[in-house]
């Protein structure tokens, strides 16, 4: 679709486009995972690719996260560029020993002789009240591990540009998409582009305070910012895009400009990404702060199956507006 001279496609289709372009460009790329063959994936995240590349490039596996991830790591070590699709980020836990003990460490343990050009793909977050076992957002766990890069795109433009970068990286990359975003549309240029890791995006410029938001919460933060702008509260919304590497300087520059920072994320606050942003604020911008940093995160409870309870646990626009308004007036 072309709107106002710009080509718009969905978040999901942006990923399919990136995969197709990179697999045509580089015949060493192989894709391993559940339901990614003729069916095209649970979220249509590989639609049409099996018909074009066949089962020698797309290996449709059983439900075996540990096995498929080990297979992909071996393929990457042997000279391929490998993608493993765990479908739901929640079930990458079944493969954590492969990801953390093997993929993240192989380059170091081999004194640089082995590379692991691997993309571990999974979907995160709450959508349609899927319950606790299908709604986790633990991207911060992976960012804690040296040797792993962690990508969390919020827009179709970022999905395509960041995925193409991930597929050309010689290090293991955890590529995490939010399930609730697969059908949103956005501008994605037809021409070739890549987005570098470690470069945050200022989604909305502002002067009163900085909102750092991740994944779906970028859209919640933008909606809240538009409401509060009518009250004279000008919020700058910053999307880090990658959690590891983290654009500390980009975050710090925004905080120095606005003198306040809040973090909006669907993950829990305890020992999480919001604390890392606070460390940037306190270590790099302490003299610029006009107020203590604030975080608006999921409440400390398992993600409920009940819609009413889930809505109570997760940040929404109303809660962000209320808490930022109170924070500004305190």
Positions annotated as catalytic residues are 65, 134
- Residue 98: both structure tokens together: 């492969």
Enumerate the β-bridge partners of residue 264: 213, 296
d(C-alpha 20, C-alpha 238), whole Å: 30
Contact present, 15 and 43 (Cβ < 8 Å) = no
Taking CA atoms, 252 is separated from 117, 212, 269, in Å, by 31, 11, 20
The 3-state DSSP class for residue 230 equals coil
d(C-alpha 121, C-alpha 153), whole Å: 12
What is the β-pairing status of strands 261-268 and 209-213? parallel
- Residue 290: both structure tokens together: 């006009």
d(C-alpha 12, C-alpha 1), whole Å: 14
The 3-state DSSP class for residue 323 equals helix
The 3-state DSSP class for residue 249 equals helix
d(C-alpha 215, C-alpha 217), whole Å: 5
């Amino acid at each position: 679709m072309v709107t106002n001279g710009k080509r718009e496609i969905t978040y999901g289709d942006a990923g399919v486009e990136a995969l197709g372009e990179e697999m045509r460009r580089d015949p060493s790329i192989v894709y391993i995972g559940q339901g990614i063959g003729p069916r095209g994936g649970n979220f249509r995240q590989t639609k049409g690719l099996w018909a074009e590349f066949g089962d020698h490039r797309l290996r449709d596996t059983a439900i075996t996260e540990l096995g498929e991830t080990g297979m992909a790591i071996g393929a990457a070590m042997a000279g391929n560029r490998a993608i493993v699709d765990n479908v739901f980020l929640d079930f990458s836990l079944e493969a954590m020993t492969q990801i953390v003990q093997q993929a993240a460490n192989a380059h170091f343990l081999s004194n640089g002789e082995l590379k692991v050009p691997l993309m571990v793909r999974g979907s995160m977050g709450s959508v349609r009240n899927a319950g606790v076992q299908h709604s986790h957002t633990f991207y911060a766990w992976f960012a804690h591990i040296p040797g792993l890069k962690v990508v969390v795109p919020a827009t179709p433009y970022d999905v395509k540009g960041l995925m193409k970068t991930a597929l050309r990286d010689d290090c293991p990359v955890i590529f995490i998409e939010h399930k609730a975003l697969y059908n949103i549309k956005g501008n994605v240029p037809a021409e070739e582009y890549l987005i570098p890791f470690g470069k945050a995006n200022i989604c909305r410029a502002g002067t009163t305070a900085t909102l750092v938001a991740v994944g779906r919460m970028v859209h919640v933060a933008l909606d809240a910012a538009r409401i509060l702008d009518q009250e004279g509260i000008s919020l700058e919304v910053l999307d880090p895009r990658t959690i590891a590497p983290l654009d500390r300087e980009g975050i710090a520059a925004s905080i120095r400009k606005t003198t306040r920072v809040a973090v909006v994320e669907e993950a829990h606050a305890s020992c999480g990404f919001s604390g890392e942003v606070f460390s940037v604020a306190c270590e790099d911008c302490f003299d610029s702060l006009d107020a203590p940093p604030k975080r608006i995160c999921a409440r400390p409870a398992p993600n409920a199956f009940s819609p009413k309870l889930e809505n109570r646990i997760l940040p929404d626009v109303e809660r962000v507006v209320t808490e930022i308004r109170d924070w500004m007036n305190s």
